[in-house]
A and B are shown apart, each in its own frame.
Chain A
Amino acid sequence: MGFWDTIADMVEAATPWVTAEAEAPTQESTEETTVEATKEEETATKEAAEEPAEEEEEEEEEEEEDDEDDEDEIVDPKEKFEEECRESKQCSGVKHHFDECVERVTNASEQDGAKEDCVEEFFHLAHCATQCAAPKLWSALK
């Protein structure tokens, strides 16, 4: 987003040989869904290629997503992405600090009352997780 996207949008809209679509037009719903489905598959395969260890996990999640649409069981994508982000390498440092703090504080409170809290560590972890999940979340939400 920002300035150059705007310029690109305008150029795209002004040139007669392309059709600029800001959002999926409502009439062509069937075509659009197939396109989106293929896109999802593409991203899934890409991720699988990048992280072969988590291949099975990814597939399971894909299935879960598909279930979402069919049944009433709704999984909040924000929770899902942030959980993934919290476990990811990017946030491993702050997660380590948070876990350590939780352990320390719970031990201290069992003995003679905790003198500190883990709010700051929690902030750092939450900041990292939301920052990492934000773009993924927006591509998942409507």
Chain B
Amino acid sequence: MLARTCLRSTRAFASARNGAVHFSKRAASSSSSGAAADAAPVGLNVAAAAATAVAAGSIAWYYHLYGPTAHAMTPAEEGLHPAKYPWVHEQMFKTFDHQALRRGFQVYREVCASCHSLSRVPYRALVGTILTVDEAKALAEENEYDNEPNDEGIIEKRPGKLADYLPAPYPNDEAARFANNGALPPDLSLITKARHGGCNYIFSLLTGYPDEPPAGAQVGSGLNFNPYFPGTGIAMARVLYDGLVDYEDETPASTSQMAKDVVEFLNWAAEPEMDDRKRMGMKVLVCTTVLFALSVWVKRYKWANVKSRKIAYDPPKPAKTRE
């Protein structure tokens, strides 16, 4: 291919330089390409050598960059994809189960909150979805927050109120890393949106710790084996064990029950507007369905005349003058 391209270009140059000669040659011999190749053999050889050098050079460069070993992606690096669980609150027109949210909040408070912050959720958001006003106020007052500066410019502490946000377990990321062997427990406010797989992933992660890692698996020091975590080495140890919390509604607190509840709660924390959004969506869908049906009917009504008329071509009778 390359050679042929080169040939074509030399031929073009030749014709540009002395077209008259070329034409005469062409007239003399039927094979024009052979004649043109004879015109510049040195140039052709140089071009071929240069192309070979470039190709060999780029291969050498690639090898220099990436080396002799090929690193393919392993399933362990990708992490096990979670099974799809039939979450009721993920159905199109279903709200969160607020009883489950309440249980999930209890699990968060008693288990997760010692390491994970939930910094984007204020107490007021809990009112009317998970807690009553009195419960939320009582909960807020258990914690102290910075007050406005007083007359002397000193910032005193005051008990929390509904407008305050849930307190974080650590003052900053550095403190969190220091307390957890260098691993940073992520903020859980938006975690179901922030992780590929969402609710299924977090549920699987919480419940998926095997009793012992499979044979031959390498687990780094200070890490735990979890198939769902990309790389399989996760700093968080298994935290949910059967009967860890006592639910106020007497639900048996099995590991998976707690995980399910806390995941639903975290989904609420990430999408507190979901209930209203779905309700509005249902209204919109019903309304637009009716309007669409109406518009289809109107179109058919208006087009009925046009569609049902028949246009016939009635050719003029040939004049019978001759014959």
Contact = CB atoms under 8 A, between A and B. Distances in A.
Contacts of B208: 126, 130
A101 interface: yes
A114 B216 contact: yes
A131 B94 CA distance: 23
Contact of A120 (B75, B204, B218, B260): B75
B120 interface: no
Contacts of B218: 117
Contacts of B252: 68-69, 74
Interface in B228-266: 232, 242-243, 251-257, 260
Nearest to B249: A142
Interface in A104-137: 105-106, 109, 114, 116-123, 126-127, 130-131, 133-135, 137
Query: Which of A23, A69, A72, A137: most chain B Cβ within 10 A?
Result: A137
A137 B84 CA distance: 12
Interface in A65-91: 68-69, 72, 74-79
A2 interface: yes
B51 interface: no
Given A114-B215, A123-B75, A138 B254 contact: no
Contacts of B80: 123, 126-127
Given A72-B243, A102-B214, A117-B215, A78 B256 contact: yes
B214 A117 contact: yes
B85 A134 contact: yes
6 contacts: A23-B97, A76-B256, A77-B257, A117-B215, A126-B80, A138-B86
A5 interface: yes
B200 to A, nearest CB: 9
A2 B242 contact: no
* Interface size class of chain A, counting residues whose CB lies under 8 Å from the partner chain: 35 or more
* Interface size class of chain B, counting residues whose CB lies under 8 Å from the partner chain: 35 or more
B216 A142 contact: no
B63 interface: no
Contact of A137 (B76, B93, B242, B256): B256
Chain A interface main SS type = helix
B93 A10 contact: yes
A131 B83 contact: yes
A131 to B, nearest CB: 5
A6 B84 CA distance: 19
A134 B84 CA distance: 7
A138 B208 CA distance: 16
B92 interface: yes
Query: Which of B84, B91, B208, B216: most chain A Cβ within 10 A?
Result: B216
B217 A118 contact: yes
A120 B81 CA distance: 12
B83 A134 contact: yes
B86 A134 contact: yes
Interface in B204-235: 204, 207-208, 210, 214-218, 227, 232
B312 to A, nearest CB: 46
